[in-house]
Amino acid sequence: MKTLILNGSPRRSGDTAALLARLRRGLRGEVTEISAYYGGIAPCVDCRECWKRRGCVTDDAMRGVYADDYSAVVIASPVYMSGLTGPLINLGSRFQAYYAARRFLRDPFVPREKTGVLILAAGGDGSPGAAIDTAKCMFRYMNASLDSANTVLSLRTDTLPAERDENALAAIDAVAARLSANALTRDKPLFPPA
């Protein structure tokens, strides 16, 4: 089993980092983490080369995402302006290569089915709706299912740092146990055939 973590926080020892440390503690198998801030992934610039041939011409750390050799993908991020952080959305913009292949090349370039996990930390107004919607969009491109049990929110980090949020930590432990049992949870296909 391999798990890919997409980390959208700029804080190396912040709330997201605390939740991810807890997840890693319980995870079996190989774990790879890519930082949206420090991982060297460029945003999509709409060059449209992916309209002509499969894949993305920008050769950078996004390789590790396109490799599609993981059975679970974790999106972990602080909530900024009710959404995901900018660099994480930049990373997500690179999924345009999947869309373009299907739309313009009639190429069924669909990643393999995998389990999605969403971890959000927020310390203010507690309205993560836009972050959840954008994460769901990213999961859809990655052909990852997301069910509510695999969605962990720590929404009051201003008064309760995530490392002390026992509810969130217990939910993370449960996610780690399920991933380690290698269960692919899927309610319905999120990425139906073209």
Can you give the binding site for ligand FMN, defined by CB under 6 A? Answer: 9, 11, 14-16, 78-82, 121-126, 157
- Smallest gap from Cβ 190 to ligand FMN, in A, equals 26
Q: Which residue is nearest to ligand FMN (CB)?
A: 14
Residue 36: which of 79, 81, 75 has the closest Cα? 75
Residues 6+ positions from 107 with CB-CB distance below 8 Å: 54, 101
Question: Tokens 């959404």 map to which residue?
Answer: 83
Query: Smaller CB distance to ligand FMN: residue 100 or 120?
Result: 120
Query: Smaller CB distance to ligand FMN: residue 21 or 194?
Result: 21
- Smallest gap from Cβ 156 to ligand FMN, in A, equals 8
Query: Smaller CB distance to ligand FMN: residue 79 or 101?
Result: 79
Q: Which two tokens stand for residue 51?
A: 């309209």
What one-character DSSP code corresponds to residue 53?
S
On the CB side of 178, CA atoms within 13 Å amount to 18
Residue 5: which of 190, 155, 29 has the closest Cα? 29
Residues 6+ positions from 41 with CB-CB distance below 8 Å: 34, 60, 61, 62, 87, 90, 91, 94
- Smallest gap from Cβ 31 to ligand FMN, in A, equals 18
- Smallest gap from Cβ 14 to ligand FMN, in A, equals 2
Query: Smaller CB distance to ligand FMN: residue 33 or 107?
Result: 33
Query: Smaller CB distance to ligand FMN: residue 14 or 92?
Result: 14
- Smallest gap from Cβ 134 to ligand FMN, in A, equals 13
- Smallest gap from Cβ 163 to ligand FMN, in A, equals 10
Query: Smaller CB distance to ligand FMN: residue 44 or 165?
Result: 165
| SS3 label, residue 91 | helix
What one-character DSSP code corresponds to residue 66?
H
